[in-house]
Amino acid sequence: MNTGIDAIAFDIAKLHLPIKTLAEARNIEPDKLEKGLGLLKMTLPDVHQDTVVFAANALTRLIEDNNLNPAEVARIYVGTESGIDNSKPVGSFLITLMEQKFGHNTFLHVDTVDFTFACIGAVDALHTCIDFVRLNPGKKAIVIASDIAKYDLESTGEYTQGAGAVALLVSENPRIMAFDNNWAVSTKGVFDFFKPYHTIHKKDITGNDANQPWFGNLEAHIEIHKDQPVFDGQYSNTVYTDRTREAYAMFKEMTGTTGCLYDTWEAIVMHLPYAFQGRRMFAEIFAKDAETPLLTGTEEDYATRLRDISKGEDYKAFVNQKLQPAEPASSLIGNLYTGSIFMGLLSTLVVAANESRELEGKKIGFLAYGSGSKSKVFQGTVQAGWKTAAQQSRLFETLDRSTAVDFETYNRLHKKEQDYSALAPVNEWVLDYIETELPNLTGARYYKWVE
């Protein structure tokens, strides 16, 4: 029995800051970001949007576009690193919103949970749901990747921000992609990128040593959570490469592949924190899997040889054929964290359809990564309905309708200084309000559908 992705839907933030605008404001040469990293636009959440909103919009479109009967859905599993509560998962909000739209108790018997492991959380959710469908023929599951990638102003991650969600329908006999039952994993516990609780002494806020209640906090130390991560870009690149290389080697061993594994794949989809990350990270695997001599002496010699290979004509041709199709969407969106790899898949399919390439029966390799750190390498076979799904997605037409904001608006939105939507919502879910008065519901978030 084939199991995999039967349908795809997405919701991307409708606002963006042109990368050139950000570069000029930060005194960065625009070509460094546009041509060096492949960045063109950076999507931004509006005032009425959060992780739940993007996930609910993507899920609603998946259900409506495919005339899904809620009774057919057994699971809605969410991958995110932008959760809005330490206890209540995004999935539980989605159940409530879907019942508002599709009827009371229509999702009563649907299992839901959130998966968190940085950018690989939704791949973990997919892996679990594929196993579930294999064990329960006839059942369907939905995987949603929803995130807001936000970095501190003037940090080295600022220009990679993005926001949105991708929803996948997982079923037997899928129309788009069927996955093999081989999943290679490489895991290490490291601190390349994380979102800790920051501690502040209460006396630094109040100006005295008396531990008096402060907005309901009785502790002498106040914990503050930021959406922005603590990260080391160079180290993150290193562990990204290490985990991916290790999982790639394990997958090759698991499948008994002789010769270059990547030669068996028509295309390769990787996690893309920025559009050109994959092509920068894959050069070492490209050389090693082809048994190209690399180590000629010192570590500096190795690095020099690797740079030469990455700039060579063979590698450039490889990038254009196998990696580049996943990049255009990333260039226009920015980092989607958990949704990045699935948006890369959709981009690959749409580019192939636009170029009248035939993919049915061909394999695509997936190299997923999540900081902290873990990589999963797996592969899927493209199914007969891929082209219809790609064309009906209207991916790039949707991205072309994005609204540019100026730098001042970007700053206000980033700092949460703006209390009104920059773009009026239409036919979408919005964050309605957050409860502040009722003690037993303080902080509860409520949403509504806007026509």
Rounded alpha-carbon distances, angstroms, from residue 283 to 119, 134, 280, 289, 368: 21, 35, 6, 10, 16
Strands annotated E in 188-235: 193-194, 197-201, 221-225, 230-231
Return the closest-CA partner of residue 62 out of 149, 138, 148, 176: 176
Question: Would the pTM count as exceeding 0.85?
Answer: yes
Q: Is the pLDDT assigned to residue 295 strictly greater than 70?
A: no
Counts for the chain of helices (H) and strands (E), in that order = 16, 19
> Would you tell me how many other CB atoms lie within 10 Å of the CB of residue 59?
27
8 Å CB contact between 168 and 7: yes
Domains annotated on the chain, with CATH: 3-192+232-450 (3.40.47.10), 198-225 (no CATH)
Please enumerate, as own/partner, the contacts of 319-323 that have beta carbons within 8 Å and a separation of 24 or more: 319/279, 319/282, 321/267, 322/262, 322/265, 322/266, 322/267, 322/268, 323/267, 323/268, 323/270, 323/278, 323/279, 323/282
Rounded distance, CA 85 to CA 404, Å? Answer: 30
| Structure-block tokens of residue 314 | 């063979």
Contact yes or no for 48/115 (Cβ under 8 A)? no
- pLDDT tens-digit readout, 111-156: 999 999 999 999 999 999 999 999 999 999 999 999 999 999 999 9
Confidence at residue 294, expressed as pLDDT on a 0 to 100 scale:
65
Whole-angstrom distance, CA of residue 334 vs CA of residue 19: 10
Which range, of 96-100, 195-199, 361-365, averages the lowest pLDDT? 195-199
Q: Is the pLDDT of residue 296 over 60?
A: no
Assess whether pLDDT exceeds 80 at residue 110: yes
305-315 pLDDT per residue, tens: 888 888 999 99
Tracing tokens 């790039």 back to the chain, one arrives at 396
Task: Classify 45 as helix, strand or coil.
Answer: coil
Q: How far apart are CA 176 and CA 81, in angstroms?
A: 26
Task: Please count the other Cβ atoms lying within 10 Å of the Cβ belonging to residue 358.
Answer: 12
**How many CB atoms lie under 10 A from the CB of residue 219?**
11
What average pLDDT does range 144-171 have in this prediction? Answer: 98
Average pLDDT, the chain: 96
Tokens 């002496």 belong to 297
> Which pLDDT tens digit goes with each residue over 81-91?
999 999 999 99
Nearest Cα to Cα of residue 57 among 345, 338, 427, 421? 427
Choose among 75, 56, 141, 15: nearest CA to 445: 56
392 — pLDDT class (breaks 50, 70, 90): very high
Classify residue 384 as left (phi > 0), alpha (psi -120 to 50) or beta: alpha
pLDDT in tens, 318-334: 999 999 999 999 999 99
Handedness of CA 91, 93, 94, 95 (dihedral sign): positive
* Alpha-carbon span 415 to 153, nearest angstrom: 9
